[in-house]
Amino acid sequence: MTGHYPQLAPKHLRYVFCPRCAGRLDPAQRDQVNRFQRPTCSACGWVYYPPNYAGALVVVESDDGLVMIHPPGCDEQEPCGLPGGIVEFGESPEECAVREVQEETGLTVELTAELCRLFDRATGDGDPLEFGPMMQFGFVGRVVGGDLREGDEGTAVIYRYGDVPRISRRRRGSARVFDHYLNRG
């Protein structure tokens, strides 16, 4: 990657002051998760994540089955979601997919296929104000390394093929991408 926020963000998305306390943002701070530069308030610690309306989700295949995430607060009847997240400024959807799987599961994947490109007017619970409209890229990835661990989005679990529980309705993108995976020819 050759650049990140703020260099690659549109000018209207470049914050200078904190919306919580009006403190000055330090654009050179690095976040604790993936070490990207993010404007951070020196007074209250608020971190600005600029909106980007592209996401990547991955159906992760391993020798033992499919890797799913159990996000906190999901219904026991629909406990799963796919690893994935928001594409960072300066990052391709493919780079995002590999990074998110590593962050959320501890596993390193090689992408083997692009499943789909989906547009959603609303994500999450269907509330367009939660994340806004989003272009989502669905991929299949094969585990090539790493160790399964709990990540920032919940517990990572491997299910035998055919034994995957329902995807949470709160994870609309995950459900749509997984449907494409199950129905591919």
CATH homologous superfamily, domain 54-182: Nucleoside Triphosphate Pyrophosphohydrolase (3.90.79.10)
Q: In whole angstroms, give the CA distance from residue 56 to residue 74.
A: 20
pTM over cut 0.75:
yes
Q: Mean pLDDT of residues grouped by 10 in the chain (185 residues)? A: 57 82 84 72 86 90 96 80 89 95 96 94 55 85 96 89 87 91 89
* Predicted local confidence at residue 83, as pLDDT: 96
Predicted pLDDT of residue 131: 57
Domain range summary for the chain, segments of one domain joined by +: 10-50, 54-182
Which long-range CB contacts under 8 A does 131-136 form with residues at least 24 apart?
A: 132/51, 132/53, 133/53, 134/53, 134/54, 134/55, 134/173, 135/53, 135/54, 135/55, 136/54, 136/55, 136/56, 136/57, 136/173, 136/176, 136/177
